[in-house]
Each structure stands twice: as C-alpha cells, then as structure tokens.
Amino acid sequence: MERLRRLIMPLCALALSACGDLAPSSFDGTWKTNPDQTKFSSEPVTVSLSDGIFDCTSCAPKIHVSADGSDQPFPTSPQDTVAVREIDSRTVKLIMKRNGNVTSEQVSTAEPDGRTLQATTTIYPIEGTTPQILESTSERIGIPVPNSNAVTGSWRTQKTSVSESLLFTTFKPSGHELSASWPIGTSWTARFDGKDYPVKGGYRADSVSLKRLNDHTIEVTYKLHRYLMRVDKLTVSYDGKTMTNVSENKLTGRITTQSATRQ
C-alpha cells in the first residue's frame, strides 16, 4: 500500500484534475490585462437605422425596433426592454433595462469620413457599485449606405479602452475553492464542481461556475438571469508570468483573446 501511495502522489502533482478538487495554485495573485495585446473577433457588428427603424442583425437576440426613444420589449434576452433614439444623422443612443432599471447605455457616433465608429458604453452593475465605462473604435467594412443614418453598416472592432480598475483581477485559491475579485467591488468564490455560485457586484453576470482542465488552465462560465453569457478559458504560462484569456460571448459567438501579466 505504501508503495502504491508513493507512485500515486507524484502523478497527483502533475495532474491535479485527477486527484481531488484542489484549486490551481498557478493562478494565485493579481493580474493586469494588457489592452494593446487584445485580439478581437473578426465577426463584424451589423446595424441599420433608416426610416425611423433600428435593426441589429448581428445582435443576439436580433433587435428590430422603432428609433423613437421608447422602451420596447426585448424577448429572449437577459434584459426586459430596449430603447433606441436617433440623436442626429451620425449618432444613435441605445438603452437597455431590466425590471425598469437601466443596465446599460451606449452612444455610437460615426466620424464625418464615414469610415470610423466611436462607441461609449456605460454599464451599471447589478448591485449598485460604480458604473463602468467602455470605449471602442471600429472600422467600417464596405461602403456607407445612402439615405440612412451614418451608423448603418458593418463594423469591425479595432481597439477598446476601459476603466483602469477593470484591468486588474486577483485570484486566491483556498482549499477546494477559488476566489476572484476586482477593484470595482466585483467578486466571487466558487468550487470546481460545475455548479453556479453568486457573483457579487457584477456588471454583466450574477453567477459563475468553474471547471478545471489542468493545473494551468481553468474554464469560467458566467450567467446573467440564468442566460449563458460567456465562457472564459484562462491559461497561465508555465513560467507563471502571463495569463491568456480566450473569451467566447455565448450570445453572439464572438471570441476575444486577452493577455495579462502577473503583478
């Protein structure tokens, strides 16, 4: 029996997933995302605003509403309503709500040359912590569409910027659990059992579940109001200095790859 134990223990050290439920210690510490190294999905966002009607055919679910600024039902979505208002010939504002509360606001403006789209999104956290602002720059695919708002067309994201506090993530393993926290007040603690655990102060998720793939890779699944939102595959390099996050938006199918450095 002692000989068998001595044979098994080294294998456990090499493959934690096969020997219990311990959290990967390789994730322990604080990580900072490097925005300049982000790789965005090649899939474009396609929208149209013409004759008072707004369409987003690349959204999931698709949006087809009057651009009159009124709250309109948004079925099969984590949100209850969507409101779209045409501010001017190059700008549109979109507001999402749930239970009457604003969850996000986005203002998109096409530059005068018609080739670039600037978008500013304000996301309101679920538990009332500080709103977060995300900015993005996209380039047009194809030519401008005549007789429509200048935002009409297909756009591919080129770069984004977020609040500095959103760039830092701290992981802490403890026994059979792994905790994650962000300076904005968002945090969670979960076990590697595939069950849903609450996200506190979340701005795009209210539950999380974990799956360990190996001692350097974990899979993190986020949900919002029971809707599957995204799956992050986090991998720490063998030298322990960098972490790669391949994030799939499960609503749109778009995949974004980010790199973070251990602090």
Whether the full predicted model's pTM is greater than 0.95, yes or no, is no
> What pLDDT does 98 receive?
87
- Residue 162 pLDDT > 90: no
- What separation, in Å, do the N-terminal and C-terminal C-alpha atoms of the chain show? 43
Q: In whole angstroms, what is the distance from residue 230 CA to residue 227 CA? A: 9
- Residue 164 pLDDT > 80: yes
* Stretch 154-182: mean pLDDT: 92
Look over the chain and give the mean of its residue pLDDT values, rounded to a whole number. 88
> What pLDDT does 23 receive?
52
Cα maximum dimension of the chain:
80
In whole angstroms, what separates CA 146 from the centre of its chain? 33
